[in-house]
């Protein structure tokens, strides 16, 4: 069994109101990741995901692209503690 890891990303740019959270959710589910995404009050989107390091690396690349209508200016990534999630949800 592959070791699980978790990461948290903070995405800046035109990422609210453009389907970014739905893109993040669909991409995560396609990769078999668990976690959540939510809008932050400062205009960023927070994304938390748990999976294998390889899954998380692939996901990070997708988060830098975003959906067609988004304009991603930057993504900050940090290691995160493993949390228990049964799926990947949009919260908040």
Domains of the chain: 5-90 (3.30.70.100)
Q: Are 23 and 70 in contact (CB under 8 A)?
A: yes
Residue tagged active-site, from 8, 14, 38, 39: 39
39-58 pLDDT, tens digit per residue, is 999 999 999 999 999 999 99
Element of type H or E holding 22: helix 20-31
Q: Are 52 and 59 in contact (CB under 8 A)?
A: no
Residue 21 falls in the annotated catalytic set = yes
Residues of the chain with pLDDT under 50: none
Residue 1: its pLDDT value, please? 57
Residue 3: its pLDDT value, please? 78
Residue tagged active-site, from 7, 21, 34, 44: 21
Residue 30 falls in the annotated catalytic set = no
């Amino acid at each position: 069994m592959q070791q699980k890891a978790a990461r948290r990303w903070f995405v800046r740019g035109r990422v609210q109101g453009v389907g970014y959270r739905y893109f993040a959710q669909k991409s995560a589910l396609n990769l078999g990741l668990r976690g959540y995404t939510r809008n932050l009050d400062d205009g960023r989107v927070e994304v938390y995901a748990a999976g294998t390091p390889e899954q998380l690396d692939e996901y990070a690349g997708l988060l830098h692209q975003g959906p067609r209508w988004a304009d991603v200016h930057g993504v900050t990534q940090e290691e995160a503690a493993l949390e228990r999630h049964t799926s990947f949800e949009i919260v908040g």
